[in-house]
Amino acid sequence: MTRALRFVTVRGMDSGLTRRTTLLSGIGTLGAAGVVARTGAAREGAEATSVASLTHLTARQQAGQRVIWSYPGASVPQALLDAATRGEVGGVIFFGENIPDKPTVAEACRRLRAAHASGPARGLPLVLTTDQEGGTVRRLPGAPEPSAKQVGASPDPATAARIAGDGAGRNLRSVGMNLNLAPVLDVFREPGNFDDQFGRSFSRDPRVVATCGAAFAAAQRRTGVASTLKHFPGLGAAPAGANTDLTPVRLDVPLAELRRVDEAPFGEVVRSGAELVMGSWAIYPALDADRPAGLSSRWLRGELRGRLRFGGVTITDALEAGSLSAYGDDGQRAVLAAEAGMDMLLASGRDVEQGRAVVDALTASQRRLTPQWYAALLRVAAMRRRLP
């Protein structure tokens, strides 16, 4: 995700619905007609378990299951632990300042899991995540040490990517995490551009990016860690300095080129079973000239779910990003994202109050988001049920 650039770490770079009745009827109908029927008998048990884990939750707790929170410093604030115990936290993202060393973050993960396990959402494993792409963009010391660019340029990119994905997964699992916000599937265009300056793109060739992304994600999955493909539909054409963390970014790339180059790796890796896709905060006028991709139903529902047939979980990039300055506060941005088709909302400003504000806004929006609300909850629950 783009917010990683300001905090790349490892070595010195880290700078009044009736809740139960409504959910039962809504999820019951959606589960039978909209999910189970499409996923087949093999998943019916998992879907039923996911529904059962949601029906007793209040609207606020349902909203919380869709929000990734964050916090400042090395110690988990009591306010975040309390929110987890109340069932209002779907996950937590860790940054360099939260990880002075592995024992500290392992203890943080343990405390967060314990708080979550004592609450009403205990049936869904808590998402514990970070950016562990490789190269300079690593929160934890250790694997994968090569950057994506080094992996893609190796004599055997598929094997190198498999080793990197396995290393990332084992490293994250060693401290208790279960989701990686990687791999990056951007296809960089020019040397030194936004992705290439930090070695975050596997290649300028979409086929190499697809091969590496699929191998990385599959190896990571075998360790028990889920993968996030980012930044859909791709930031590979962004020039150096075009950082959506800081300012709006507009990429005037023809739709045919976006589909042929940028979206191609996403389509390939989605077919291999990727769990999550993160949307880009850039604007792509070829399909939607008014909204960033992560706030655009044309991109999320039309292109990602419609054309590429992605059935997994969508997740935002950082809600506090500077590129979203025209779209209200973080809560308003979260609601716009949910309306467009986002399942999980990333409150990554390292402020517990931000997470609370996003949950507040989502809870208040439930009435007008009802159909999308249930579908998103089911996707999130199904994904989390598979996490360790």
Phi, psi of 341 (to 5 degrees): 130, 10
Q: Report the interhelical angle of 206-222 vs 157-174 (nearest 10°).
A: 40
Range of the domain at 224: 2-15+61-378
- Domain assignment present for residue 25? The answer is no
- Domain assignment present for residue 45? The answer is no
- Domain assignment present for residue 136? The answer is yes
E-strand ranges in the chain read 67-69, 91-93, 127-130, 132-134, 137-138, 179-180, 226-232, 276-279, 283-284, 288-292, 313-318, 344-346
Q: Which residues contact 182 (CB under 8 A, 6 or more apart)?
A: 131, 132, 133, 134, 168, 216, 227, 228, 230
pLDDT at position 318 is 99
Q: What is the pLDDT of residues 52-79, one digit of tens each?
A: 668 899 999 999 999 999 999 999 999 9
Nearest by Cα to 376 from 387, 362, 388? 362
- Domain assignment present for residue 52? The answer is no
Q: Among residues of the chain, what percentage have pLDDT more than 90?
A: 83
End-to-end C-alpha distance for the chain, whole angstroms: 24
- Domain assignment present for residue 21? The answer is no
Q: Residue holding tokens 């791709």?
A: 234
**Number of domains into which the chain is organized:** 1
Nearest by Cα to 213 from 201, 224, 204? 201
Q: What is the pLDDT of residues 19-45, one digit of tens each?
A: 233 333 344 434 333 333 333 444 445
| pTM as predicted | 0.89
Q: Is pLDDT of 387 > 70?
A: yes
Q: Is pLDDT of 4 > 90?
A: no
CA-CA distance, 15 to 9, in Å (whole number)?
7
- Domain assignment present for residue 364? The answer is yes
Q: Is pLDDT of 189 > 50?
A: yes
CA-CA distance, 231 to 237, in Å (whole number)?
12
Total residues found in the chain within this entry: 388
Q: What is the pLDDT of residues 90-107, one digit of tens each?
A: 999 999 999 999 999 999
Q: Which residues contact 299 (CB under 8 A, 6 or more apart)?
A: 232, 233, 279, 284, 287, 288, 293, 340
Q: What is the pLDDT of residues 331-349, one digit of tens each?
A: 999 999 999 999 999 999 9
- Domain assignment present for residue 271? The answer is yes
- Domain assignment present for residue 37? The answer is no
- CATH number of the domain to which 356 belongs: 3.20.20.300
Mapped onto helix, strand or coil, the DSSP state of residue 68 is strand
Q: What is the pLDDT of residues 249-300, one digit of tens each?
A: 999 999 999 999 999 999 999 998 999 999 999 999 999 999 999 999 999 9
Q: Residue holding tokens 């999820």?
A: 27
Mean pLDDT in residue range 12-20: 32
**DSSP class of residue 160?**
H
Token pair listed for 304: 């990602």
